[in-house]
Chains A and B, each alone.
Chain A
Amino acid sequence: MGDHHKPSGIKRWLLTTNHKDIGSMYLIFSLVMFLIGGVMALVIRAELMFPGLQLVDPNFFNQMTTVHGLVMVFGAVMPAFVGLANWLIPMMIGAPDMALPRMNNWSFWILPFAFTILISSVITSALGGPSAPNFGWTFYAPLSTTYGPASTDFFIFSVHLMGISSIMGAINVIVTIFNLRAPGMTLMKMPLFVWTWLITAYLLIAVMPVLAGAVTMMLTDRHFGTSFFDAAGGGDPVLFQHIFWFFGHPEVYIMILPSFGVVSSILPTFARKPLFGYSSMVYATASIAFLSFVVWAHHMFTVGMPLAGNLFFMYMTMLIAVPTGVKVFNWVATMWKGSMTFEVPMLFSLAFVILFTIGGLSGLMLAITPVDQQYHDTYFVVAHFHYVLVSGAIFGIIAGVYYWLPKWTGVMFNETLAKWHFWSSVITVNILFFPMHFVGLAGMPRRIPDYALQFADFNFLISLGGFGFGLSQLFLVAVVWQACFKRKGKAVTDQVWESAEGLEWTLPSPAPYHSFTTPPLVK
């Protein structure tokens, strides 16, 4: 294999079928989307800094909340996970590359087009053109059908593309894991990151087509005379919510399971103890994935379901706390009496465990039907899902990036800057999201550009936290820039971290262009 036969210049990136190249492109793409989505969040926070309407008109505010959500979910979190999977799964299971390299290239290159389509409608709108999608990232009918702006069709097409991309990514992961494991790497010897991604990939191929179906039905309702969601023709808008959340709830776990895997890799390294309860972690992940299909209507406690339905979805939702609790206790037990050190990946993982658990607890509160009927559509919900997504999913991704970055680049990143990144992020993220619990409980509704005067002080504080958190991410950009493009920093050993375990650390640093050309033997 010796020769690295690769074209140079732009063609290298356009035509590459190498899992590391594609992984890097996914990660950089998701960083760009994270910053774009972040700017939209800052527009939201700037408008909400003071009561009254200052900066943007309400319709543009709605476009910001909508596209911020879509960009962060489909553009930042999901591609970042696929990027990590591309880089790490072949290295972790002792494979030379992903199983379907050409499809891998295709699934990445669809994404820039999908998001160009979506974001172009926002740019047009910001320049004074017609409205971008403005119905919330959940695009409930009839807001997105009868009342949707013309750009909704751009949105529909772009969701189709994102769906195709992530289904292909998921298929690639499954085929790689099943067919390319090194001899001796049995399923129950796989690193937990690989396990969580395997389960995530199954969730993806099960529910992304449902999302595609939902937007297809929207499209035919809008233009081809069907009435899936239109009461005038015998349809029902509530059906939209059922179908959306049948996709949407498994989607929530798609966005957190790989982070569970990342944290389960990092904690044992820096606690210098093997992961506590490996097999219970695997079964807990599988149970969470299974339960995610029978809890969707907890997003819809206020649509008027019968008591039996409300109770069923309430109990099922609370049941998810059990496998999730198993995970949290296992992480704590892993660290228990360990020789812990606090390198940057460990700091982010610790913050993950604590802050994700806060998000989980507020989720448990929201699971209780009568309570949810109070909290529904308030900032309490916003606080809840940002705790699990920002300080959960995204902190997990960042922890993973810091953990494996030296392996990817061959140099240790700038640890001082990275620590600045951690401390500024972890402080501001709490200033940003914690007070949202209070204003939410006091009744401040989400997705509204103005609020009652009594929420003014907290919102000012929240906005300060928001700007702080946004600016903190520039440290991340600086660290990644220095490590990847300047290659500044001292060279690292193959193992990088003192007690890191796993096949990826047996490869040289930086990792060679092709991973395991001869499969390693796993004992």
Chain B
Amino acid sequence: MQSQYLKVRNQSLLVKLVGISGFMFIFAVLVLPPMYEVLCDLTGLNGKVSLKQFDIGARSGDTAERMITVQFVADVDPKADWAFKPKTRSMKVFIGQTHQTSFFVRNPNREAVITQAIPSVSPAQATLYLKKAQCFCFEQQQLAAGEAKEMGLIFYVDPDIPEHLTTITLAYRLYDITDRMKPSIAETGESEHV
């Protein structure tokens, strides 16, 4: 019933519209998440701290006279039952100086696990100013059965931090990533036996 001309026009519009929806799907899955990641990295929007190491030598300017309270929070993956806690819950520190603290972790189980600590800073505005020179969160931690260990953290607070921020909280959650790392646990397991 439809003329040939109309059929061609219908199909070419159909192809374009399917193209738009295909593009939007790819945009949602492949473009939006990395875009969000980059945006948050640049602005510290979501309180997610970069897992990049900062060079202490390169820290800006002099020590400020100002002090700031840094609180530490530690918790674990709800599916796990490790003990994980900060050495001190709160420190009053000079801005611009490096400070050291540590976290204790113990794996009470009979299985070895690989864990990853994910840091988060609140308020999110402080994210960009809390810099870590050394952190256990830069790498995955292996915990043998029954193993307990102390994990170090060296950080400083950038002097550019806005004055109204007087307390910042650095929270770590320790996740079980053994399943994700299955192939590598097999490898390291073998090398330990040697």
Query: Which residues of A are at the interface with B, using a C-beta cutoff of 8 A?
Result: 1, 96, 99-100, 167, 170-171, 174-175, 178-180, 205-210, 212-214, 216-217, 225, 228, 231-236, 238-239, 242-243, 246-247, 304-306, 309
Nearest 7 pairs between A and B by C-beta? A213-B28, A232-B175, A209-B25, A209-B24, A210-B28, A213-B29, A171-B17
Seed contacts A100-B10, A205-B21, A246-B28; 17 additional CB < 8 Å A-B pairs: A96-B1, A175-B14, A206-B21, A207-B24, A208-B21, A213-B27, A213-B32, A216-B29, A231-B173, A232-B116, A232-B118, A232-B176, A233-B175, A246-B32, A247-B28, A304-B46, A304-B123
The answer, among A99, A206, A236, for a CB contact under 8 Å with B10, is: A99
B25 to A306, Cβ gap below 8 A?
no
Verify B24–A306 contact, CB threshold 8 A: no
**Contact partners of A167 in chain B: CB under 8 A:** 21
Measured in the bound complex, the distance between the Cα atoms of B17 and A205 in whole Å is: 7
Query: Which parts of B22-70 form the interface with A (CB within 8 Å)?
Result: 22-29, 32-33, 36-37, 40, 43, 45-48
A171 near B29 with CB under 8 A, answer no
Q: Choose one: B24, B28, B40; the contact of A236 (CB below 8 Å).
A: B40
The size of the chain B interface, using a CB distance under 8 A, is: 41
Q: How far is the CA of A138 from the CA of B46 in the complex (A)?
A: 20
Contacts of B180 in A (CB 8 A): 225, 233
Quick check: A174 and B17 within 8 Å, CB to CB?
yes
Given the known interface contacts A210-B25, A210-B28, A306-B124, the answer about A233 and B40 at a Cβ–Cβ threshold of 8 Å is no
Can you list 25 A-B pairs with a CB-CB distance of less than 8 A?
A99-B10, A100-B14, A171-B14, A174-B17, A175-B13, A180-B6, A205-B20, A205-B21, A205-B24, A206-B21, A208-B21, A212-B28, A213-B26, A213-B27, A216-B25, A231-B120, A231-B173, A231-B175, A232-B173, A232-B177, A239-B32, A246-B32, A304-B122, A306-B43, A309-B45
Residues in B neighbouring A213, C-beta threshold 8 A: 24-29, 32
Cβ of B9 < 8 Å from any Cβ of A?
yes
Task: Write out the residue numbers on chain A whose beta carbons fall within 8 Å of the beta carbon of B160.
Answer: none
Give the distance to chain B from A466, nearest Cβ to Cβ, in Å. 36
Give Cα A70 to B43, complex, Å.
35
Q: A100-B10, A225-B180, A228-B33 are in contact. Are A209 and B1 (CB under 8 A)?
A: no
Is there contact, CB below 8 Å, between A306 and B45? yes
Residues on A with C-beta less than 8 A from B175 are 231-233
Q: Are A238 and B46 neighbours in the complex by a CB distance under 8 Å?
A: yes
**Known contacts A212-B25, A228-B33; is-contact A206 B20 (Cβ 8 Å):** yes
Smallest distance from the beta carbon of A176 to chain B beta carbons, Å? Answer: 9
- In the complex the two chains form, what is the Cα distance from A305 to B44 in whole Å? 10
CB-CB under 8 A from B124, the residues of chain A are: 304, 306
Contact with A along B129-172 (1 / 0, CB 8 A): 00000000000000000000000000000000000000000000
Interface string of B177-193 (1 = CB under 8 A from A): 10010000000000000
Contact between chains at A232 and B33 (CB < 8 Å): no
Instruction: Give the shortest distance, in Å, between B24 (CB) and chain A (any CB).
Output: 4
Nearest CB of A to B23, in Å = 8
Q: Which residue of B lies closest to A225 (CB)?
A: B180
**Distance A232 CA – B122 CA, assembled complex (angstroms):** 18
B77: chain A residues within 8 A (beta carbon): 232
Chain B residues, CB < 8 A from A232: 77, 116, 118, 173, 175-177
- Smallest Cβ distance from A5 to chain B, in angstroms? 12
Contact A305 B45 (CB under 8 A): yes
Partner of B36, one of A178, A210, A214, A236: A236
Minimum CB–CB distance from B87 to chain A (whole Å) comes to 23
CA distance A59 to B46 in the complex (A): 30
B18 near A: Cβ within 8 Å? yes
Please tell me which one of the listed residues A99, A210, A234, A305 contacts residue B27 in the complex, with CB atoms under 8 A apart.
A210
> In whole Å, how far is B11's beta carbon from the nearest beta carbon of chain A?
9
CB of A233 to closest CB in B, whole Å: 7
